[in-house]
Structure 1
Amino acid sequence: MEKKLIYILNSYSKNSAQHFYHVVHLLETMADQGVDITLVIEKATDIPEVGNKIKIICQKDNGKIARVRELSKILRSLFDEGYRKVFVRITMPAAIIAINIAKKYGAEVYFWQSGDNLTYDKKQPILPRIKWYLTNYSLLVYIRDHVNFFVTGPESMADYYVKNLKVKREKVLVLYNDIDDKRFESVNEADQKALKEKLGIPIDKKVVLFVHRLTPVKRFSYQIPFLAESEDFRRANAILIVVGGGPEENIIYEEYKKSLFKDCIQLIGKVPNAEIMDYYKVADVFINPSYSEGFPRVVIEAMSSGLPVVATDVGGTRDIMGPEQKKFLVDKDDRTEFRNKVIYLLTHSEVRNKIILENKEHVKRYTTDSVSKMYIERIFK
């Protein structure tokens, strides 16, 4: 069977801090393994450099109606060329367009989403919750009912969507996020010192790293000051490096300026994903104190970079860890235990080293090469 795939990506920029940057490498690897791929990018400030490996189409029209017409025309043209499988990552309007056109051609639509944010959104105040039900949730329900495959990962997220969104079990397809283990790798002590100098991080400090968009669901204000203001954190000779922008960035910066412990925190701001690996390489411990998760790519980035992780036990986080690393999962509301776990890792090098070895072995199942084969086997079964 000829393997042809349309992949719809909502946005791409080589300077973006978002994870969409990763997708192109996965598609290139799938192309190397014999898949004919056309990548459709809804919003692009740059065109990915892929040579002739994959065909790239960037939408150009402005305005909602014009963009709907443009995407519809693109899909019809590709279906006429013999494509019969469409993979849509996250963007719900594109999924609905693809679903309605694909039916006429006997094509299949795969829609990717991962996250236990339904639980979070349903607890919002009444007016935001009503708006969410009328917009996002209603679109998601339509997709649930009409898409061929609802794609998510890791395994526990399949159960989550069956239970909380009522997706039919036979529609759920589990696929993993991937990690480029050549970008995210550990370095020796000399290279780490050189990188610290380059990034302006004190060479003598142990580094606790946080990488994510600064949004309410990441609970920065709840967890991070509590950690940094601890005397035990200071005695561990540690510094907290915070990488990320987002809607809470200005609020957090104002809180930071007033803090008596700001010498223990560096707010880096948004860093392009193409450059983010340097921060992992200088770290000693990675933290992910999120209230809601799906398949947290930052965690597998940390694992691949040779870092032990302290994270909240939410979404599919537990699924992607080995037995030793799982001991450092904490209830999402227990910030005292979260802080204690971080301090413990900072002060027990033998435990850190044990987890590092486990993580570097365990994360191999998520390498781009392994995940690309998984995509091909499960989409073109």
Structure 2
Amino acid sequence: MSKNYILVGAYPNRDKQQQPGGQLTATKLLVEYATLHDIKLHIIDTSENTFPAPSLKKRVFKAIRRVIELRGVIKENRVDGVIVFSGPLFSFYEKVLMSAIAKYYGKKSILLIRSGHFIDSNQRSVVIRYLNRYLLKIPSKIVAQGTKWVEFYKDMNVDISKVELISNWIKVKENHNYIGNRDKVVFLFAGAMVEKKGVLELFDIIQTHYQELKKYTFRFAGEGALFEALKQRKEENHLDNIELLGWRYDSDMMDEYQRADVFILPSHAEGFPNAILEALNYRLPVIATDVGGISDSIINGYNGYVVDVKDNESIYKSIKQLGESFELRNKFSKNSEKILKEKHDFYQNCQALFNLF
């Protein structure tokens, strides 16, 4: 007899254009795995447009509708468990309520918190931290995206026996070879153009060291609150080695990874960013900050460089080291492939997730 689960996560209709994101990729691959193994999923879509952000009233209305849908499905159908993807703050409280409903009806729930901002919010507020410690007791299992997440849950007094480390997953490209440019090296940033993604620091580095870095190209794929201001800054300061691309979707974004030599993401907070997964899938060396689960898969001096948040000098040195050595980039690329296959294979990790029930 096939198993039946409820999946709560971003999974928009095909006719709805959605900005790329880690949760969307994870849910799509989870659905693909379920289809291959005769697992039936009732999907409750939680996708939202990020830019512009919806009003609080609209978010509350949608959340209530989703909670009612979840309760109805559990009451009227045979359900073997509930998989719940969550973000920080309001998203977390909605998803914990769903886990509580599942618990009330005797169903196991697995909570996957995907945003590093959840960790930040708990570190900033004693009240939020105290409340969330209690709420994290509700799900049957919690999936951590890396060892730092495991340590965070320990610090939140979560029963460690209910925490499982399952790395974010992607469909691994087989037999993909890193080509790389020996002359005009391309550094790629992909993500929202907002302060928390570290784009201001990256612009500061490029502008401060322009004479040394003008031989490289820095391509920014993404939009957001800072996009127009950074476009103006680029033009006013004649930063000709910067290219602002706006959002790129699907095949266009894949082309960006294909033409890049190095991926760079100096974020202030992350869960485990899908952009880094994509970079690993194209065997790119990576420069990233030590946040969320990143340091499990980007190992300093092995397949990239891991630096502290806002450490502009270390980011600059990492850019120089990788920019100046094709041999180093090629070595890191081969190591990225090893880590990708060991930790991020979608089949292996989705299987591990369903095995938690």
TM-score range, shorter chain: 0.7 to 0.9
The within-5 A match list for 1:1-381 is 2-10=2-10, 12=12, 13-22=16-25, 23-43=27-47, 64-65=60-61, 68-69=64-65, 71-90=67-86, 91-118=91-118, 120-121=120-121, 140-141=132-133, 143-163=135-155, 165-182=156-173, 185-186=176-177, 205-230=184-209, 231-234=211-214, 237-260=215-238, 262-273=239-250, 275-322=252-299, 324-325=301-302, 328-365=305-342, 366-377=344-355, 379-380=356-357
Cα drift, residue 373 of structure 1: 1.9
Kept after mapping to 2: 8 A contact 1:218/1:289? yes
Kept after mapping to 2: 8 A contact 1:184/1:277? no
Cα drift, residue 353 of structure 1: 0.8
Q: Which amino acid aligns with 2:9?
A: L
In structure 1, distance between residues paired with 2:349 and 2:172: 12
RMSD between aligned alpha carbons?
3.1
- Say which SS state the counterpart of residue 315 (structure 1) adopts: coil
Q: Which residue of 2 aligns with 1:54?
A: none
Cα drift, residue 328 of structure 1: 1.6
Query: What are the superposed Cα offsets for residues 57-116 of structure 1, whole Å, 9 maximum, x if unpaired?
Result: xxxxx7735752553244332443211311111132442332232233200121111454
In structure 2, distance between residues paired with 1:184 and 1:14: 30
Kept after mapping to 2: 8 A contact 1:295/1:317? yes
Assess, with a 3 A threshold, how the Cα gap between structure 1 residues 79 and 188 changes in structure 2: closer, same or farther: farther
Query: What are the superposed Cα offsets for residues 347-372 of structure 1, whole Å, 9 maximum, x if unpaired?
Result: 11111111111111220131222222
Q: Which amino acid aligns with 1:350?
A: E
Q: Which amino acid aligns with 1:303?
A: L
Cα drift, residue 185 of structure 1: 4.7
Assess, with a 3 A threshold, how the Cα gap between structure 1 residues 70 and 87 changes in structure 2: closer, same or farther: closer
Which deviates further from its counterpart, 29-38 or 83-92? 29-38
Report the TM-score when normalising by structure 2.
0.83
- Say which SS state the counterpart of residue 333 (structure 2) adopts: helix
In structure 1, distance between residues paired with 2:235 and 2:48: 35
- Say which SS state the counterpart of residue 263 (structure 1) adopts: coil
In structure 2, distance between residues paired with 1:212 and 1:219: 10
In structure 2, distance between residues paired with 1:370 and 1:107: 24
- Say which SS state the counterpart of residue 272 (structure 1) adopts: coil
In structure 2, distance between residues paired with 1:308 and 1:350: 11
Kept after mapping to 2: 8 A contact 1:21/1:273? no
Cα drift, residue 333 of structure 1: 3.4
Give percent identity, aligned residues only: 21
Kept after mapping to 2: 8 A contact 1:76/1:101? no
Kept after mapping to 1: 8 A contact 2:185/2:323? yes
Cα drift, residue 141 of structure 1: 4.5
Cα drift, residue 213 of structure 1: 1.3
Q: Which amino acid aligns with 1:342?
A: I
Cα drift, residue 271 of structure 1: 1.8
- Say which SS state the counterpart of residue 210 (structure 1) adopts: strand
Kept after mapping to 2: 8 A contact 1:72/1:97? no
- Say which SS state the counterpart of residue 217 (structure 2) adopts: strand
Q: Which amino acid aligns with 1:212?
A: G
- Say which SS state the counterpart of residue 170 (structure 1) adopts: helix
- Say which SS state the counterpart of residue 145 (structure 1) adopts: coil
Report the TM-score when normalising by structure 1.
0.78
Q: Which amino acid aligns with 1:280?
A: Y
Q: Which residue of 2 aligns with 1:195?
A: none
Cα drift, residue 122 of structure 1: 6.2
Query: What are the superposed Cα offsets for residues 17-42 of structure 1, whole Å, 9 maximum, x if unpaired?
Result: 22333121232123313422222113
Kept after mapping to 2: 8 A contact 1:15/1:273? no
Query: What are the superposed Cα offsets for residues 270-316 of structure 1, whole Å, 9 maximum, x if unpaired?
Result: 22256421110000111111222222222221111021111122222
Q: Which amino acid aligns with 1:331?
A: D
Kept after mapping to 2: 8 A contact 1:84/1:106? no
In structure 1, distance between residues paired with 2:134 and 2:10: 19
In structure 1, distance between residues paired with 2:314 and 2:212: 13
Assess, with a 3 A threshold, how the Cα gap between structure 1 residues 122 and 94 changes in structure 2: closer, same or farther: closer
Query: What are the superposed Cα offsets for residues 318-365 of structure 1, whole Å, 9 maximum, x if unpaired?
Result: 111357436622222321121111111111111111111111122013
In structure 2, distance between residues paired with 1:142 and 1:184: 47
Query: Any gaps of 5 or more consecutive residues in structure 1?
Result: 46-61, 193-202
Kept after mapping to 2: 8 A contact 1:3/1:35? yes
Kept after mapping to 2: 8 A contact 1:178/1:367? yes
Q: Which amino acid aligns with 1:349?
A: F
Assess, with a 3 A threshold, how the Cα gap between structure 1 residues 161 and 249 changes in structure 2: closer, same or farther: farther
Count of residues in Structure 1 that have an aligned counterpart in Structure 2: 339
Q: Which amino acid aligns with 1:179?
A: I
Cα drift, residue 187 of structure 1: 6.5
In structure 2, distance between residues paired with 1:224 and 1:356: 25
In structure 2, distance between residues paired with 1:146 and 1:376: 19
